[in-house]
A and B are shown apart, each in its own frame.
Chain A
C-alpha cells in the first residue's frame, strides 16, 4: 500500500485569466449525488461578480475583434485540451451527476464534440445570418452579425458539464465575452473546465467562471449596467428567480434569454448563437442612377 498523503485539489474561481479565491474568503461544501463530500468550492460574492465583469469587458475588444477564423482555432484547441483530460472530467461528471463511468464518458465525449461543433461555426455564422440585402435604391446594403458584449450566463443546474458548454460555447464563438455562474450544486466540472480554457490560447477574461449561490451572484449581474445580456438557463427554479432577474435586467435593456426546456444531448442549432448577436446594417452608395436604372 502506498502511504502517500492525499493531494486534495483547491478549486478556485477563474477571473481575468487568473485563478483567485473568492474575494469574500468563503467556501462551501460540494457533495456528490449521494451526499458524500467531494471538495470545497469558492462561495463567490457580488464583488467577485463585479471583478469578473470588469475582466470580461476588458477582454471584449480584442476577442470580438479577433478574426472568426482565429476564434475557431482557439475553440478547437479547447476541444483538444479537453480530450487530453478526458479521464478527469469523466470522474468529475460521474461524481457530480451520479452517472456510471461509462455514461459519464458519453457525456464528456458529447461535450468535446460540442466544442468542435461551435468551433466550426465561428466563421460560418456571418454567412447564415448576415449578407447582402436587395434594396430599392442606389445602395449596396449589407448586414453583418455583431457580438452583443459581456454576457452573464447562469449555467444549467443539472447538466453541469455538457449543459455548461452548450450555453457557454455559443456565446464566445460569436465574439462575446462571458461571466459564467457554475451549477450551484455541481460546480466542480465548471471550475476544472476553467483550467482547460486557461491552457487553450483563450485570452484571459473571455470566460470567467464563478461558483456559489446562483441567486446571490445572479442578482448583481442582472442589475449590472455593464453587462449587455444574460442567459437565465440556470435560473430554472420554482422560486420566481428568473422573473426577478428579468425585471432587474430591464434597466439597461439587457438582452435576456429565458430558461427553456432543452435536451443538451441533441444537436443545438444556431439559436443560442443568434440570441447574443446583433445585426449591423450598412448602406453603401453605389453611385448615381443612370437613365436605365441602377448602375449595377
Chain B
C-alpha cells in the first residue's frame, strides 16, 4: 500500500478525501484472488498439525444463534456448550464467544459467567441495518449495558453502494463511541451484497479507518456468506492496514463455514496472508453454529481413531 500513517489521518477529513482514498485503492485481480484462495485450500494438514488446528479453530468459534425463535433456554444451552464444548473430554478448549441478539445478552452473560467465553451481540438493526441512526445507537447501548463484550454491527450497505461513504464512516464512528471503552466493535460488511471485490476492499479500509476492532464478512442471512476469496481479501487489508498505521484489526468470516476442513483452510489463509500474529482468538474468529459440532467430531476421531457421528454431539 502506498500509504503512510501521516496520510491516513486526513483521509476522513471530508466526503471527497474519503472517496478519493477509497477509489485510489488498487483494483482487485479477481481471478488471481480466487486462484490464490483455492491454491491455499489444497494444503494437506494432518496428524499433530491437524489436532492443533482443530483446537485452535474451536477456540476461535463465535458460537452463534440468531434466530427469531431464540429462547433464554436455548441461549443458556449454547452458553454451556461454549464453556465446555465436549463434556466427555475436558481437554477441549472453550470457544471464544457466544453471539446472540441484544435482548439475549443478559441470559448469555449469565450462562458463561466465570469462564473466558465472551458475549458478543449483534446490534444496529441486524441483519438489514435499515433503521435510523438513533435506533441503531440505542440498540448498541442496550447491548453494552446488558454486558456485551463485543458488538457486531452491520454497515449501511445502501449508503455504501450509493457511494455515500461518509455516512457509513460516521455511523461506524458513532457506534464505536456507543460501545464505550470496553466493548470491541466488529463491523459486518455483508460481502454478499457488495457485488464486487473492489467494494469489499474499500469497505474493509473504510471500516478500519473508522475504528473497527474486527472486520467481519457477513451476517449469515444472505445467499453468499464467507468465502475463502473474500476472507483472503480482508486478511490482506488488515495486514496492509497494520503496515500503514501500526494498528492491528481482527477478521471474522461468518456464515457457511460448516466443516473442519473448511475451517482449517481458513486458518491456512490467515497464516499465509496476515501471519502468525492473527492466529489467535483475539484476532481471528469464526462466526458459526454447526461448525463446532463438526470440529468436535473430528477431534473425537483423532483421539479414538473411530469416526464419530452426530449422536455424540449436542443438537443445538
Contact = CB atoms under 8 A, between A and B. Distances in A.
Chain A partners chain B: yes
Interface of A: 50, 53, 57, 220, 223-227, 251
A50 B305 CA distance: 13
B305 A225 contact: no
Nearest to B308: A225
6 contacts: A223-B306, A224-B306, A225-B306, A225-B308, A225-B312, A226-B311
Contacts of A225: 300, 306-309, 311-312
Nearest to B311: A226
Contacts of A223: 305-307
B86 to A, nearest CB: 14
Contacts of B308: 225-226
Given A220-B306, A225-B300, 8 more contacts: A57-B310, A223-B306, A224-B309, A225-B307, A225-B309, A225-B312, A226-B310, A251-B306
A226 B297 CA distance: 11
Contacts of A226: 307-311
Interface residues of B, number: 9
Contacts of A50: 307
A227 B308 CA distance: 9
Nearest to B309: A226
Counting from the closest, the 10 A-B pairs by CB-CB distance are A226-B309, A223-B306, A224-B307, A225-B309, A225-B308, A50-B307, A225-B306, A225-B312, A220-B307, A225-B307
Contacts, number: 27
Nearest to B305: A223
A227 B306 CA distance: 11
A295 B127 CA distance: 58
A131 B58 CA distance: 48
Interface string B286-316: 0000000000000010000111111110000
Interface in B264-303: 300
Nearest to A223: B306
- Max chain B Cβ within 10 angstroms of own Cβ: one of A53, A223, A224, A226: A226
A53 B311 CA distance: 13
Interface string B40-75: 000000000000000000000000000000000000
A142 to B, nearest CB: 26
A211 to B, nearest CB: 20
A197 to B, nearest CB: 24
A57 B310 CA distance: 9
Contacts of A53: 307, 309
A225 B303 CA distance: 13
Nearest to A150: B309
B313 to A, nearest CB: 11
Nearest to A226: B309
A251 B309 CA distance: 13
Interface centre among A224, A225, A227, A251 (most CB of B within 10 A): A225
Contacts of B309: 53, 57, 224-227
B95 to A, nearest CB: 23
Contacts of A224: 306-307, 309
Interface in B62-121: none
A225 B300 CA distance: 10
A50 B260 CA distance: 14
A53 B308 CA distance: 11
Nearest to A251: B306
